[in-house]
Structure 1
Amino acid sequence: MKKSVVAFSTLAILSSTFVSPALASTYTVKSGDTLSKIAQKHNTTVHDLKQLNHLKTDFLRINQKILTSNSDKTSNDSSVSLKKTKNTTYTIVSGDTLTRIANKHNLTLAELMKMNNLKSDRIYAGAKLIVSKSTTTTTIDLPGSSKPSNPTETPANSATYIVVKGDTLSKIAIKTKLSVAQLKAFNSLNSDFIRVGQKLRLSKSSSSSTPANNDDKVEAPSSGSKVAKLVSEAKKMIGTPYSWAGASPSGFDCSGFIYYTFKKAGYDISRVSSSTYYDMGKKVTSPKSGDLIFFATGSSKAVVSHMGIYLGGGEFIHASSSKGVTITSTSNSYFKSRIIGYKSL
């Protein structure tokens, strides 16, 4: 059966003649919502919401789109706002799983399920899944020229650029009027791999601190960050004995240690095997503190059988079957040749 990835877009025209004095924005109805609650959230009234949406009753449906008044944006009768949403879809084929599809499109399982409002991992061949979304808004003067607006984009004259979902070095180069070679040189990049949220220097003289993409120059997590909390919780468990299937301070196996420390650090994570964590995660070519490191310690070099948390500087913390929770170097003679790769959850 043929696989396909399709990009399509929807266009919503929100004219200032529909809403005065503000531009209209869209709200998706959730379980438990009422017109009164929605009106309070958006600083408007039930009467105005009903009039704006041509509603005859107070009845709402889950996932229904409601136009609201966006009070922090002003407009006039000579402008129109156009919102364009582009979705890229993937057609499921026989043998696919959500995890495999997520990995193909550099998503986590949780991101893919949220994007498609899935409550379970059951999928069917022939069905389509959204694998990426992007939205741009353009304001057009009547008469006048269009003014593209996207609050997630970094201005071209900024010293740094923050990577957003869907970005590639080529796209960023076009946005910032640089070449890919310049971007790679300014940021000491050895590959085209970039991460969402990563800061890129846009000039050689930029004073912003951007970590180089190699193991021995990993940026330390900032104080109070989620990653710092994760590392702190992991180090508290040093010396805890190994226990097969253990997931508590009385004893851990390798995946149980990951589950416990991530939960303590505030991450929403399930208790699964090391191989499943590997399948769930996003591939990382330039690991940083807080990423996961995976090993094949069994007879097959292709099967994930052990894991730990990468600390940066060529070290990782894990629940060793011989030493319990301990910190080990990635250059360790036993583990170095057994590294399968790095992933982030």
Structure 2
Amino acid sequence: MKKHIVTISTAAILSSAFASSTMASTYTVKSGDNLSKIANTHHTTVSKLKRLNNLASDLIHTNQKLTISENAKTAASQITVEKTKTTTYTVKKGDYLIKIANKYGISLAELQSWNKLKGHLIYPGQKLTVSKNGNKTIIELPKNDAPTINNETSTTQTPAAVSTYIVKNGDSLWAIANKSSVSVTDLKSLNNLKSDVIYTGQTLKIGKSTLKPSEAVATSDRTENADKRVDRVISEAKKQIGVPYSWAGSSPSGFDCSGFVYYVFKNAGYQISRLSSSTYYDLGKKVTSPRPGDLVFFSPNEGSKSVISHMGIYLGDRQFIHASSSKGVRISSIDESYFKKRLIGFKQL
């Protein structure tokens, strides 16, 4: 009798330090303001204002909140709760690694990595992890309200050369950079970020673009840029048709399913990490109406929704391109009996 054990572990990580003061004072920039004027009004210096607010230049924009005093410098506090769902398999007599990997639709490299195996030796009764699925929830902690120096309202004006974006729950620098057609490096430089950590509600400068404050790219430009990126992705993918399957492969000499997606998106200009199918599924944004360029995911068994074993790139018209373990890179239909019964859903990078 086959045994599958599913375990769920939860870890809470304090993602930023508690640092808030009831004596904090801030100022909301009004039309016509500049750093020198604000510094003189509040009896401080331009250099101190730039240091307190991590400003790389003298550029500020209307409605921007500036820290005026040392006591006002605060760090948002939030807790990230990570849940990992793990499925295990008990080795039986006659089993070997590649057989188990194929059974669960994972690569040999993933199986060895998850179980910290240096070789191919396994024994009956040994428990092996055969899938890992996780999700992350960000909980925003209450913050002390800091009184503002000036409560006057003004008409929202944003210089044409600067656009901003407010971080939403589930966002990452990589996702924001791709959405805004900028690089992660430029995004970090523009916002003086020392790491990839961002938090919900944070205002990020996007740079010279058509972005409106706190919004994504304007509809017409977003559509045009998205279409160009999708064309590059599909073009790169079709160049690899016929390349043979190779476990853990991520080059034209051989691909596995996730390695194929990684190679295609990277060569299409995306900043993307080499991850497993299940991790791409966890990181992606769920879509109900798939479009060309979206990712499509499958399970190893009919009716199963808990294990991600295969993925590909959706081409439209119910077609997708993928690295098949039997025939290499090829185009298939989602309506084929095998895939139709194992379809889990679509995600967008």
| Counterpart for residue 106 of structure 2 | none
Instruction: Give me the identity figure in percent.
Output: 43
Matched, 1:328 2:336: no
Structure 1 residue aligned with 2:29, among 1, 8, 14?
Answer: 14
In 1: Cα distance, 2:277 partner to 2:56 partner: 45
| Counterpart for residue 92 of structure 1 | 80
| Counterpart for residue 54 of structure 2 | 65
Structure 2 residue aligned with 1:258, among 257, 261, 264?
Answer: 261
| Counterpart for residue 296 of structure 2 | 293
In 1: Cα distance, 2:253 partner to 2:345 partner: 29
Note the alpha carbon deviations across 1:194-213, whole angstroms, 9 max, x for none. Answer: xx5584xxxxxxxx8999xx
**Residue identity matched to 2:79:** T
What's the C-alpha RMSD, in Å, of the aligned pairs?
5.1
In 2: Cα distance, 1:118 partner to 1:327 partner: 42
Paired residues of 1:116 and 1:130 also in contact (CA < 8 A): no
For residue 258 of structure 1, give the secondary structure of its aligned residue in structure 2.
helix
In 2: Cα distance, 1:309 partner to 1:103 partner: 29
**Residue identity matched to 1:341:** G
Note the alpha carbon deviations across 1:139-182, whole angstroms, 9 max, x for none. Answer: xxxxxxxxxxx9716xxxxxxxxx93xxxxxxxxxxxxxxxxxx
Note the alpha carbon deviations across 1:207-256, whole angstroms, 9 max, x for none. Answer: x8999xxxxxxx9964xx22211110100011111112111111111011
| Counterpart for residue 275 of structure 2 | 272
For residue 262 of structure 2, give the secondary structure of its aligned residue in structure 1.
helix
Matched, 1:237 2:244: no
In 2: Cα distance, 1:343 partner to 1:316 partner: 13
Gaps spanning 5+ residues in structure 2: where? Answer: 1-9, 15-19, 67-74, 86-133, 140-168, 177-183
| Counterpart for residue 53 of structure 1 | 47
Note the alpha carbon deviations across 1:60-115, whole angstroms, 9 max, x for none. Answer: 96x853485459x9xxxxxxx53259x98642347589x72369934347459979
Paired residues of 2:211 and 2:217 also in contact (CA < 8 A): no
Gaps spanning 5+ residues in structure 1: where? Answer: 25-49, 74-80, 122-128, 137-149, 154-162, 165-195, 200-207, 212-218
**Residue identity matched to 1:82:** N
| Length, aligned pairs only | 226
Paired residues of 1:291 and 1:343 also in contact (CA < 8 A): yes
In 1: Cα distance, 2:84 partner to 2:59 partner: 42
Shift >6 Å, 4+ stretches: 112-116, 208-211
For residue 316 of structure 1, give the secondary structure of its aligned residue in structure 2.
strand
More relative contact order, 1 or 2 (CA 8 Å, 6+ apart): 2
Structure 2 residue aligned with 1:226, among 225, 229, 232?
Answer: 229
- The structural deviation recorded for 1:134 is 4.8
For residue 131 of structure 1, give the secondary structure of its aligned residue in structure 2.
coil
In 1: Cα distance, 2:286 partner to 2:28 partner: 38
Q: With structure 2 as the length reference, what TM-score do the two structures score?
A: 0.50
In 2: Cα distance, 1:11 partner to 1:151 partner: 26
